[in-house]
Amino acid sequence: MARIGFIGLGNMGSGMAANMVKAGHEVFAFDLNSDAVKALEAKGAKAAQSLADAVRGAEAIVTMLPAGQHVRSVYEGDDGILQLAEHDAILMDCSTIDVESARAVAGEADKKQMAFVDAPVSGGVAAAEGGTLTFMVGGSQASFDKAKPFLDTMGKAVIRAGDAGAGQAAKICNNMLLAITMIGTCEAMNLAQKLGLDPQNFFNIASQASGQSWSLTSYCPVPGPVPAAPSNRDYKPGFAAPMMLKDLRLAMQAAERVDASTPLGQRAENLYSVFNESGGNQLDFSGIIKMLQGEIGQ
């Protein structure tokens, strides 16, 4: 059993922190939102009154925050984690943020000879609650080895992607691919229906043919073929469309910086931007099929 500081108890962090409690750790939970802290306290965590309260004395620290600026503000500065944490603590940022911010925090940690990894996750709220996330980890092998036992309590797979920032790089590349395959799956399903094919029948064919992908077989954007998919509950998230847009923007920023050609990624960003502005921001990212079907955004 270890003492853990957990910062950021939102949709994802609350389930992840609860799994650390279940694993027998003493979790000091902190969020700017005191209701989120109370909810975690009810699940057996200790309510930290401040960042310092959560971090001091902890062997391991997990952050699960919205974006790069939140992560930098929590780690850096005189009252940040790098100043407050025990020198031998393992620091794990599981937020999805830009590669530069992840590398900047890792660089500051390195100067202080503290162990830090970027460890963003794949899998949504259900995987966070069920402890079945996939972690993509950036950092030295030694930091990865120190982080892995803690990440194992929250996930089904913990994979080292490379050095600092590599976890974030893997995450945005994965999600750019996911956005592209989802839009492609929606287009194919929509065209199939307009050509008179039954969606279940087309699903049976494409899922056993070369059009097969995770977007089709695990997350089918038309109701019916995959009962657990958000398409069966009016596209209630799931993985919300604004989150996908955030990840695509991070991918496009990174692509521009390294001069990588990503024409489909750019188009996907554009389509998700229009989808979000047309009311899709309340829906799962697979709900973009409603835009292709002309139900929203026309």
Binding of residue 95 to ligand NAD (CB under 6 A) = yes
Contact letters for ligand NAD, residues 239-278 (x by CB under 6 A): x---x--x--------------------------------
Side chain identity, residue 110: D
Q: Are 272 and 244 in contact (CB under 8 A)?
A: yes
Q: How far apart are CA 32 and CA 158, in angstroms?
A: 28
What is the SS3 assignment for 94?
A: coil
Q: How far apart are CA 18 and CA 272, in angstroms?
A: 32
Catalytic residue among 171, 194, 236, 246: 171
Among 48, 61, 62, 74, binds ligand NAD (CB under 6 A): 74
Structure tokens at 199: 């969606």
Residue with Cβ nearer ligand NAD (11 or 266): 11
Q: Is residue 171 annotated as a catalytic residue, yes or no?
A: yes
Among 7, 119, 164, 226, binds ligand NAD (CB under 6 A): 7
Query: What is the smallest separation between the CB atom of 51 and ligand NAD, expressed in angstroms?
Result: 6
Q: Are 103 and 132 in contact (CB under 8 A)?
A: no
Binding of residue 91 to ligand NAD (CB under 6 A) = no
Q: How far apart are CA 216 and CA 57, in angstroms?
A: 46
Chain centroid offset of residue 232 CA = 23
Q: Which residue is nearest to ligand NAD (CB)?
A: 10
What amino acid positions are annotated as catalytic residues?
171
Query: Which residues of this chain interact with ligand NAD, rule CB under 6 A?
Result: 7-13, 30-33, 36, 64-66, 70, 73-74, 95-96, 121, 124-125, 239, 243, 246
